């Protein structure tokens, strides 16, 4: 059992996917790794005992990464604000790209810079960086231009960086889940859309954050080079 790996989950606040990942990674017996696990919330008004990490503050990001020296990072950061007559598309694009694209890519950029400094040329010691995007990168949704386009940009950015890093000591990939019921984001989305259909998953069933978290934890634990550059849709076949 590998006890030398250190996992940080960024975007773990009470009841969301990141929170589920932290809990499962700490107790799961279906993984190869026995991690030291740390969860970070990106909201200063967090409701659980998690450390705060502002992804728009590069100095704070670098300090946290240098202090923890993680071998595995899972970033679940995201925001989804419905657009209406008081929230125009341009404003939506700016707000969503800042959180959904710039934040995760800042974390990835700084993590790779720090990791490279500590790895000898040709060494394959296995650094994994995982981003949670959304199947909204592919599924157009009304009142969601900022959210959908930012997730499409995030997915493509991850794939491009992964292609650049291929063959080295890192693997970079992500997930594009569909609608997960019972999370703070999904509850807020339900309120914003006032009874309108929240997804188009065949059969009408939404996803479970716990199920998605279990798959991510297993994949990161058993990661191989074949994961690099993949964006894995877990969405019940929604179109």
Is 239 inside a domain boundary?
no
Contact 10, 60 (CB under 8 A): no
Q: Which residues contact 117 (CB under 8 A, 6 or more apart)?
A: none
User: What single DSSP character describes residue 33?
Assistant: B
Rounded to an integer, the average pLDDT of 58-76 is 95
Is 207 inside a domain boundary?
yes
Unique residue bearing structure tokens 């259909």: 197
Number of helical (H) and strand (E) elements in the chain, helices listed first: 7, 9
pLDDT higher than 50, residue 1:
no
Burial 119-146 (b: 16+ CB within 10 A, else e): beeeeeebbbbbbbbbbbbbbebebbbb
Is 1 inside a domain boundary?
no
Rounded to an integer, the average pLDDT of 221-239 is 85
The H or E element containing residue 180 is strand 180-181
Rounded to an integer, the average pLDDT of 196-202 is 59
For residue 237, with 0-12 CB atoms within 10 Å meaning exposed, 13-18 middle and 19 or more buried, which class applies?
Answer: exposed
Is 125 inside a domain boundary?
yes
Rounded to an integer, the average pLDDT of 74-94 is 89
Is 42 inside a domain boundary?
yes
Is 198 inside a domain boundary?
yes
CA–CA gap between residue 14 and residue 165 (Å, rounded): 33
- Write out the residue range of the structural domain in which residue 145 sits: 6-234
Q: Which residues contact 29 (CB under 8 A, 6 or more apart)?
A: none
Give the CATH number for residue 39: 3.40.50.720
In the numeric block, which tokens belong to residue 172? 């970079």
* pLDDT digits 0-9 by tens, 130-164: 999 999 999 998 888 999 999 999 999 999 999 99
* pLDDT digits 0-9 by tens, 28-37: 665 666 789 9
Is 155 inside a domain boundary?
yes
Number of domains in the chain: 1
Is 15 inside a domain boundary?
yes
> Between 168 and 236, whose confidence is greater?
168
């Amino acid at each position: 059992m590998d006890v030398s790996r250190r996992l940080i989950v960024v975007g773990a606040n009470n009841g969301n996917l990141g929170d589920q990942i932290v809990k499962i990674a700490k107790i799961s017996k279906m993984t190869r790794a026995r991690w030291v696990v740390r969860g970070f919330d990106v909201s200063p008004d967090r409701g659980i005992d998690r450390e705060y990490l502002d992804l728009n503050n590069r100095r704070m990001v670098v300090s946290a990464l240098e202090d923890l020296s993680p071998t595995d990072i899972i970033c679940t950061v995201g925001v989804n604000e419905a657009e209406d007559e008081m929230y125009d598309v341009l404003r939506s694009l700016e707000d969503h790209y800042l959180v959904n694209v710039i934040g995760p890519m800042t974390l990835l950029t700084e993590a790779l810079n720090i990791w490279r400094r500590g790895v000898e040329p040709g060494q394959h010691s296995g650094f994994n960086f995982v981003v949670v995007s959304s199947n909204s990168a592919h599924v157009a949704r009304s009142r969601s231009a900022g959210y959908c386009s930012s997730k499409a940009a995030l997915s493509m950015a991850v794939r491009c960086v992964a292609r650049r890093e291929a063959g080295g000591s890192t693997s970079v990939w992500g997930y594009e889940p569909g609608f997960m019921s019972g999370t703070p984001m999904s509850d807020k989305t339900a309120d914003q859309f006032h009874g309108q259909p929240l997804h188009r998953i065949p059969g009408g069933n939404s996803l479970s954050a716990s199920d998605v978290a279990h798959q991510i934890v297993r994949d990161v634990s058993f990661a191989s080079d074949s994961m690099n550059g993949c964006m894995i849709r877990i969405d019940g076949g929604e179109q």
